[in-house]
Structure 1
């Protein structure tokens, strides 16, 4: 049961019954009408801007129209008070009975409360992480992994049909470098003294096991082969080893993709799929032969001062046209991006979301241009950029990792502080804002540590049920109809807690539509804060305690409220990929 959706329907129905609306129905548009919580809770439970957005097309004063609407809304049995504020905002205060029925609906829904159909089964592809398979994942990948995974979970809960995808960049010069780096470690495994790792190769110790595996499989045979023979063999083994390591890192973070898409498949059969994508763009008039002026600043690798095959991307929203085929006949990296998007589009996705690092900001316009050209504007493409993560320990910057060679690995962070603090804190800032991650702060047990505070709220909920079992050993909590007992909840403080729970369905829909999973993390912290505050009131006032040894009826009713809080916390934490513990250890 969605409080705001319910009252949006009620308010629109009330408006339809007004003579002033019926007389000018063709000129009235309800699309800008909103129903939300008042900014000041003392003003009421629900607020609407109906009079503000309808006054002009109706040719009347907003305040006067608000008075007419307010009189109509007073007829609703679940509305106990209607007031008009400011230039025409309408505030409603709801009956105790409505809050009780809403709580009963929450209890019956359990962890499905808030689940939505707003996505209407729309097919969405969320591509995230997509780290080059050349080494372990670092903490920057970690943020994109969490944001992408939580966003996919959130949109799935909101009714979208979501696919989580990883694009394996297993073609290109970086894979050649990987293979040469592994071959050096192979020679080392054979007993050769390789000395300091040459510049241009990957220096991390993570490649030592790959070299050892090559030596075990091939013995000295690779050493006696020319590069053109050992290179494809080493590439294959190196990519497999790197992807196995990346999958293990992602698993440690509780991230699991539905699809791992290999870039090499685009280059198979003479790059047939890239060629077909370019042919399709050519047929649509988006490709031509020409030259590009030198860009300002540092020249990109694919710029050439000669005629090339170019994508006319400026006609579909880009800043400059983009090379597709170099003068030597080889395809640019961007050409593979075109073919990859075309493949997604042909797989039937309505929207493609790319979660990328902040250093990929220059890709946004070109990818959006590709989407418009390939789909004719029918498919939506969204790029979410994740800003940098800075690591601290007690306020001091964390040094680089010896294992990786030049960065702190994702696995090192997860192993030190645990999966849950990493996941929740990566969402506790909007992805477009820089994030400071302090190892000490994310493990302290205090209100200042959001993940602890939220998980502690769920654990406290579970402790209430343990207290109830001790207080009433003959009470079978598994068979109690807590929803039926919701009619016993009457205290204003308890109503405020129900009101906070009532925000959840709207929060889910709004966060999914805006693609902002951080809003869920903020909400969970606010809900936890409301629950802890109510708990503390019970310490001072025995009448507000959840478990009253001398009042079984009141205890059962309040256990229903606690169950609703626990269900929302568990549901929200599951979307963030974080556990909801029964006890804090």
Structure 2
């Protein structure tokens, strides 16, 4: 039961009643009418902007319209109070029975509560897509966790989602990888390699690749020219790196549906990229021309020459973009267009790319390209993840034993666990820099959000175990069995706050999915956990407010029903974030 959707429909009915009565004209645009929580909970349970957004079109005063709508809404027996505030907002206070109905709805289907039926076609989310040249670092981890949680969120909202990883295995960097692995191969055969030359990858993670090559090929590769050993070593190195990356992702609970190889776009005759270029030429979207120099400092490699250009400006970009390099090879942009077209041809109509913050210049051109190659039938949202500053007790952590350059994601997983990483990566909006302190994320305190939320779930399970001892004749975790409790006994302000937060969860989930912002779930879980812990603390001073009262079966059953519903919200939200909901904590 989503009370916000329920009362949004009721507000629309009130508008229609005023239209029928001649107070409002027909044909008003109700698309911007919303019902949401008031900014200050003391003002009521719900607030609507209907009078504000309709007054101008209706040629009336928003406050006067607000009073007329409030009068209509007061006729609803579920509305205790409807008051106009400020320039025309209407605040509604609901009868307790409304929240009791919400509670019964949660108890009837705890696992399904909040899950929606959001309209829209298939969604493709591409995330991680780290170059297969070494282990993932913490920055990769942020994009990985964000993309995975966003996929979970959209599935919970009712969307069909494909999780995809783009393997960048066609660029110069994989040749550098192969040459780096070849040094380790020679080392495995007993040669003294010495210092790794500048420009190659120095990390110890390539030692096992060299050993694998030695076991498979013996000394045979030493006798071959570069043109023969390079593709062999490259294939092995990429396969080994992707196996390592898959293992790192699995350790943090991430599994993709599709691993798409960049090389498959560039087969014989240019493959999908060549086909795309021919299609764009046929549509008149490609021409030969010159670009003005970039604004500001001109890069050293910039060339003033005639180029094959894509008319991206026609689709919202700042400038047209080259598709071919001066040597006749395709630009990265050309490959990226073909790749996004492939996602669309596979059935996705909504594309989401999760990228690092350094890809900000990529957004407009790719959105323009997607619009062009799909004839506007698909959309692209690019979510940029800002940097992660890794700290230990406030001091920067820089070096890694494994990579030789950076702290790997696996090292952080091994130290603090996947739950801490996932929750803390999502407890800040993706486009804000994140300080990740290895010492603080394992603290057992209110200042550690992941502990605070998980502890709320474990605390409820502890209360339920206590209730079994006090009342052995019923199961305090049986949601359906608690649905007939006397919810009128839930009259304390702390209980009302928990009910309010339970009722808000479907709206939070829906809004987070629509905005592609999983951090909203993390914030709501923290607020929900805080309401539980606060009420628990009140019960220490006021015995009549304790969750389990052995001498008062009725109030105990009502509170057990309340916290079982709240536990369902915590479990649901944690599942969206990919974080466990423990039944006990050390």
* TM superposition score normalised by structure 1: 0.97
Q: What residue in structure 2 maps to residue 536 of structure 1?
A: 537
Which shows bigger deviation, 532-541 or 441-450?
A: 532-541
Q: Tell me if 1:220 matches 2:219.
A: yes
The secondary structure found in structure 2 opposite 1:93 is strand
Q: What residue in structure 2 maps to residue 18 of structure 1?
A: 18
1:293 Cα offset (Å):
3.4
User: Following the alignment from structure 2 to structure 1, what is the Cα–Cα distance between the partners of residues 59 and 363?
Assistant: 44
User: Following the alignment from structure 1 to structure 2, what is the Cα–Cα distance between the partners of residues 14 and 63?
Assistant: 16
Q: What residue in structure 2 maps to residue 192 of structure 1?
A: 191
User: Following the alignment from structure 1 to structure 2, what is the Cα–Cα distance between the partners of residues 59 and 231?
Assistant: 74
Unaligned residue ranges in structure 2 (runs of 5+): none
Q: Deviations over 1:68-114 (max 9, x none)?
A: 22222111111122222223222211112111111111111202111
Note closer, same or farther for the CA distance 1:235–1:299 as it changes in structure 2 (3 Å cut). farther
User: Following the alignment from structure 1 to structure 2, what is the Cα–Cα distance between the partners of residues 43 and 323?
Assistant: 56
Which shows bigger deviation, 268-277 or 285-294?
A: 285-294
User: Following the alignment from structure 1 to structure 2, what is the Cα–Cα distance between the partners of residues 299 and 169?
Assistant: 28
Q: How does 1:344-383 map to 2 (within 5 A)?
A: 344-383=343-382
Q: What residue in structure 1 maps to residue 90 of structure 2?
A: 90
Q: What residue in structure 2 maps to residue 545 of structure 1?
A: 546
Q: Deviations over 1:338-395 (max 9, x none)?
A: 1101111111211111000011111111111211211122211111111100011011
Q: What residue in structure 2 maps to residue 471 of structure 1?
A: 470
Note closer, same or farther for the CA distance 1:386–1:23 as it changes in structure 2 (3 Å cut). same
The secondary structure found in structure 1 opposite 2:241 is helix
Q: What residue in structure 2 maps to residue 276 of structure 1?
A: 275
Which shows bigger deviation, 219-228 or 544-553?
A: 544-553
1:27 Cα offset (Å):
3.8
1:484 Cα offset (Å):
1.7
Note closer, same or farther for the CA distance 1:221–1:455 as it changes in structure 2 (3 Å cut). same
Note closer, same or farther for the CA distance 1:346–1:390 as it changes in structure 2 (3 Å cut). same
Which shows bigger deviation, 365-374 or 246-255?
A: 365-374
Q: What residue in structure 2 maps to residue 311 of structure 1?
A: 310
User: Following the alignment from structure 2 to structure 1, what is the Cα–Cα distance between the partners of residues 182 and 44?
Assistant: 70
User: Following the alignment from structure 1 to structure 2, what is the Cα–Cα distance between the partners of residues 38 and 294?
Assistant: 51
Note closer, same or farther for the CA distance 1:368–1:540 as it changes in structure 2 (3 Å cut). same
User: Following the alignment from structure 2 to structure 1, what is the Cα–Cα distance between the partners of residues 553 and 406?
Assistant: 58
1:299 Cα offset (Å):
5.9
User: Following the alignment from structure 2 to structure 1, what is the Cα–Cα distance between the partners of residues 360 and 60?
Assistant: 47
Note closer, same or farther for the CA distance 1:211–1:297 as it changes in structure 2 (3 Å cut). farther
2:18 and 2:24 in contact (8 A); partners too: no
Which shows bigger deviation, 325-334 or 201-210?
A: 325-334
The secondary structure found in structure 1 opposite 2:266 is helix
User: Following the alignment from structure 1 to structure 2, what is the Cα–Cα distance between the partners of residues 255 and 21?
Assistant: 56
Q: How does 1:99-114 map to 2 (within 5 A)?
A: 99-114=99-114
Q: What residue in structure 2 maps to residue 429 of structure 1?
A: 428
2:477 and 2:564 in contact (8 A); partners too: no
1:245 Cα offset (Å):
0.2
1:147 and 1:427 in contact (8 A); partners too: yes
1:59 Cα offset (Å):
2.9
1:128 and 1:145 in contact (8 A); partners too: yes
The secondary structure found in structure 2 opposite 1:481 is helix
Unaligned residue ranges in structure 1 (runs of 5+): none
The secondary structure found in structure 2 opposite 1:10 is helix
The secondary structure found in structure 1 opposite 2:115 is coil
Q: Deviations over 1:124-180 (max 9, x none)?
A: 111000000000000110000011100111011111111110000001100100000
Q: What residue in structure 2 maps to residue 420 of structure 1?
A: 419
Which shows bigger deviation, 447-456 or 356-365?
A: 356-365
1:96 and 1:490 in contact (8 A); partners too: no
1:294 Cα offset (Å):
3.4
Q: What residue in structure 1 maps to residue 518 of structure 2?
A: 517
2:150 and 2:517 in contact (8 A); partners too: yes
1:312 Cα offset (Å):
2.0
Q: How does 1:557-576 map to 2 (within 5 A)?
A: 557-576=558-577
1:38 Cα offset (Å):
1.5
User: Following the alignment from structure 2 to structure 1, what is the Cα–Cα distance between the partners of residues 175 and 257?
Assistant: 27
The secondary structure found in structure 1 opposite 2:474 is coil
The secondary structure found in structure 2 opposite 1:26 is coil
Q: What residue in structure 2 maps to residue 31 of structure 1?
A: 31
1:14 Cα offset (Å):
2.2
2:19 and 2:25 in contact (8 A); partners too: no
Q: What residue in structure 2 maps to residue 294 of structure 1?
A: 293
Note closer, same or farther for the CA distance 1:191–1:299 as it changes in structure 2 (3 Å cut). farther
1:56 Cα offset (Å):
2.7
Q: Deviations over 1:435-482 (max 9, x none)?
A: 001011101000000000000000011111001011112324466621
The secondary structure found in structure 1 opposite 2:323 is strand
2:266 and 2:273 in contact (8 A); partners too: yes
Q: Tell me if 1:67 matches 2:67.
A: yes
Q: Deviations over 1:7-38 (max 9, x none)?
A: 11112112212256656543422112121112
1:27 and 1:57 in contact (8 A); partners too: no
Note closer, same or farther for the CA distance 1:23–1:95 as it changes in structure 2 (3 Å cut). closer
1:134 and 1:174 in contact (8 A); partners too: yes
Which shows bigger deviation, 301-310 or 184-193?
A: 301-310
* TM superposition score normalised by structure 2: 0.97
Which shows bigger deviation, 427-436 or 268-277?
A: 268-277
The secondary structure found in structure 2 opposite 1:17 is helix
1:108 and 1:483 in contact (8 A); partners too: yes
2:315 and 2:372 in contact (8 A); partners too: yes
Q: Deviations over 1:505-537 (max 9, x none)?
A: 111111111111111111111111111111111
Number of matched residues?
Answer: 584
Q: What residue in structure 2 maps to residue 555 of structure 1?
A: 556
The secondary structure found in structure 2 opposite 1:250 is helix
Q: How does 1:2-13 map to 2 (within 5 A)?
A: 2-13=2-13
1:166 and 1:261 in contact (8 A); partners too: yes
Which shows bigger deviation, 320-329 or 127-136?
A: 320-329
Cα RMSD, aligned residues only: 1.7
The secondary structure found in structure 2 opposite 1:484 is coil
Note closer, same or farther for the CA distance 1:141–1:563 as it changes in structure 2 (3 Å cut). same
User: Following the alignment from structure 2 to structure 1, what is the Cα–Cα distance between the partners of residues 269 and 177?
Assistant: 23
Q: What residue in structure 2 maps to residue 153 of structure 1?
A: 152
Note closer, same or farther for the CA distance 1:280–1:497 as it changes in structure 2 (3 Å cut). same
User: Following the alignment from structure 2 to structure 1, what is the Cα–Cα distance between the partners of residues 168 and 21?
Assistant: 58
